[in-house]
Amino acid sequence: MKTCLPIISIAACVILSGCATSHNGIALSPVGPARQSTTHGSTNGSLVVYSAYKRNADFNSRDNNRPEYSDYKIMAADGHLLRKVHNNSGTVFQDVVSVNLPPGQYSVVARANGYGYLTVPVIIDANHSTVLHLEGGDKWGDDSLFNQTNSVRLPDGQIVGYRADAN
């Protein structure tokens, strides 16, 4: 019995640490805007991130039955924190927030469903919108617009967005 307890303890630690590891080793290609998406009248572009849903209930939200997107960070090209984004529009629909940014290269640190926190490189172009889908499932309206050369995908095949160099 004395030898069983240490073995069970070690096995439990190994199993629990496997659940806690993140998939930060995933390297994704830069995501850019779809060329058909435009935001007229501005020299800036926009970033829209559908991050993984929050894990815990927020009883202060407008609708406790509707899931909320988790918050994320926007990092500058040199790696410093540019902005923390509370990813809730504050409307009844609790939709994501669109962030206006000057054209350039950025990184988004956000939760991806099934992958933990990921760092995704993004390109922002003037008058265009860059969209990331990290919430899981099939959220793109028309998957026929995507192929292996113009999309950035997670290892399970989920489309994250348009490949920046393919647009």
CA distances from 5 to 1, 12, 132 (A): 7, 10, 47
Indicate the pairing of strand 31-32 with strand 159-163.
Answer: antiparallel
Cα(31)–Cα(162) distance, integer angstroms: 5
Token couple for 55: 């894990």
C-beta separation of 167 from 160 below 8 A: no
121-161, pLDDT tens digit by residue? 999 999 999 999 999 876 666 666 777 778 898 998 888 98
Lay out the sheet containing 45-50: strands in order across.
98-101, 45-50, 129-133
Higher per-residue confidence, 12 vs 79: 79
Model confidence, pTM: 0.75
Q: How confident is the model at residue 17 (pLDDT cuts 50, 70, 90)?
A: very low
